[in-house]
């Protein structure tokens, strides 16, 4: 057992996982209490009357290849959201342990911790340095109750990559002390290599990847948790037995084959061009105070008045993300890069707004 597993909850380490019906495709199934006939007009390849293969071998091999790792390092789940939840449940004792996050960041880390009854220690990103990771403060704030450190790169909702060398230095300094979870939901838009190859060097590194963004499969609900094989083995005893629905397995295999990968690559290039077009248009909009550069498929905007920007977008038939509930981004919105037509329509809708709200002296 690798030493980082000693951070996991003791009852999870000694858990005897549920024994699901054996996966023996050579035999006809009379061992899982399924119906022997399919529903009429049901169009899956495998048949929805059958339970799906748990951690399907072909899918796992495919994801390993897609992400440049080995099948033993891959756990597939219902989006990276499930990966986040599994980590928190397996590593944090309710009322005892904590996670660390670097706000402003993706909201699910905190929600998963709260559901589990785990604490949340916050070390904010450095806004004045383009929301850079404050690695020194992360180290200084660590204590032995903190089992997981969530780093999102590129970060949602600020859009910036975190410094790779700083992340790797944290992995080294926190060996045997904490699991460093790097959420790379948007890495395909960043034009840099994934941190996945570093899994070979750090037993306490976990990487989250998703098919929801670059592969246009948000509705399929599939993500991959990539980690040392012992972490994958531990979490595969915690994940629900038939986690991935048959339709999800079949759609993911289809939509990540060679031709779909080429399609995804081409569309990513279009999004990157449009990100630049949208950014340049939005910086010239009087109602927008600031647009941050982005390594993802969205832009963070600081607004003169968030409410009027949201309303103007809606009057153009578009909904953008209100970030006012986030104390660090109270005057900001987040915009996903859309089609060229949608982006142009958003800009037209915002251009009409005044530079200052009435009563605003500035």
Task: Name the token pair of 211.
Answer: 């098919």
Residue nearest to ligand PLP (CB): 79
Q: Which is nearer to ligand PLP, 219 or 286 (CB)?
A: 219
Contact 123, 102 (CB under 8 A): yes
**Which residue, chain included where needed, has tokens 């246009």?**
216
Tell me the two tokens of residue 284: 């010239």
Q: How far is the CB of 300 from ligand PLP (least distance, A)?
A: 13
What are 132's two structure tokens?
A: 């850079």
With CB under 6 A as the contact rule, the residue among 194, 210, 248, 256 that binds ligand PLP is: 210
Task: Give me the least distance between CB of 210 and ligand PLP, in Å please.
Answer: 3
CB of 358 to ligand PLP, least distance (A): 35
Among 81, 85, 97, 295, binds ligand PLP (CB under 6 A): 81
* Residue found under tokens 């449009």: 274
Query: Minimal CA–CA distance to 154: which of 105, 225, 96?
Result: 105
DSSP-derived secondary structure for 268-287: HHHHHHHHHHHHHHHHT-TT
Task: Answer yes or no whether residue 202 interacts with ligand PLP by CB under 6 A.
Answer: no
| Residues in the chain, overall count | 362
Interface residue with ligand PLP, options 7, 223, 250, 353 (CB under 6 A): 223
Region near ligand PLP per CB under 6 A, out of 25-33, 60-68, 212-220, 277-285: 212-220
Q: According to the binding rule CB under 6 A, does residue 54 interact with ligand PLP?
A: no
- 79 is a contact residue toward ligand PLP (CB under 6 A): yes
Q: Which of 80, 160, 248, 256 binds ligand PLP (CB under 6 A)?
A: 80
H/E stretch holding 15: none
**Other beta carbons within 10 Å of 285:** 23
Does the protein bind ligand PLP through residue 183 (CB under 6 A)? yes
Interacting span for ligand PLP (CB under 6 A) from 15-23, 129-137, 172-180, 206-214: 206-214
Burial string for 166-188 (b: 16+ CB within 10 Å, else e) reads ebbebbeebeebbbbbbbbbbbb
- Minimum CB separation of residue 220 from ligand PLP in Å reads 9
Q: Name the token pair of 79.
A: 């989006």
* Binding region for ligand PLP (CB under 6 A): 79-81, 106, 152, 156, 183, 185, 210, 212-213, 218, 223
């Amino acid at each position: 057992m690798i030493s980082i597993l000693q951070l996991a909850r003791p009852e999870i380490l000694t858990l005897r996982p549920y024994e699901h019906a054996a996966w023996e495709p050579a035999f006809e199934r009379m061992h899982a209490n399924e119906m022997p006939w399919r529903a009429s007009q049901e169009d899956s390849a495998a048949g929805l009357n059958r339970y799906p293969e748990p951690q399907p071998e072909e899918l796992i091999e495919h994801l390993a290849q897609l992400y440049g790792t080995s099948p033993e390092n891959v756990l597939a789940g219902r989006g990276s959201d499930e990966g986040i939840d599994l980590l928190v449940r397996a590593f944090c004792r309710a009322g005892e342990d904590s996670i660390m996050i670097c706000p402003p960041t993706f909201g699910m880390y905190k929600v998963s911790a709260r559901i589990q009854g785990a604490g949340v220690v916050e070390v904010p990103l450095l806004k004045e340095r383009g929301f850079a990771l404050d690695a020194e403060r992360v180290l200084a704030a660590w204590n032995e109750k903190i089992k997981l450190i969530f780093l999102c790169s590129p970060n949602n909702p600020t859009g910036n990559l975190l410094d790779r060398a700083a992340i790797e230095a944290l992995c080294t300094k926190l060996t045997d002390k904490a699991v460093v979870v790097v959420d790379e939901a948007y890495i395909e838009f960043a034009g840099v290599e994934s941190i996945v190859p570093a899994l070979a060097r750090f037993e306490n590194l976990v990487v989250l990847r998703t098919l929801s963004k670059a592969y246009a499969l948000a509705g399929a609900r599939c993500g991959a948790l990539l980690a040392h094989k012992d972490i994958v083995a531990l979490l595969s005893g915690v994940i629900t037995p038939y986690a991935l629905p048959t339709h999800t397995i079949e759609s993911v295999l289809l939509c990540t084959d060679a031709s779909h990968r080429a399609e995804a690559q081409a569309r990513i290039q279009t999004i990157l061009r449009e990100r630049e077009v949208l950014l340049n248009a939005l910086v010239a909009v009087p109602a927008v105070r600031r647009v941050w550069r982005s390594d993802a498929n969205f832009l963070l905007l600081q607004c003169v008045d968030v409410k009027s920007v949201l309303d103007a977008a809606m009057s153009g038939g578009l909904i953008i993300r209100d970030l006012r509930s986030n104390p660090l981004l109270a005057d900001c919105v987040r915009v996903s890069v859309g089609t060229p037509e949608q982006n142009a329509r958003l800009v037209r809708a915002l251009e009409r707004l005044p530079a200052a709200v009435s009563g605003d002296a500035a």
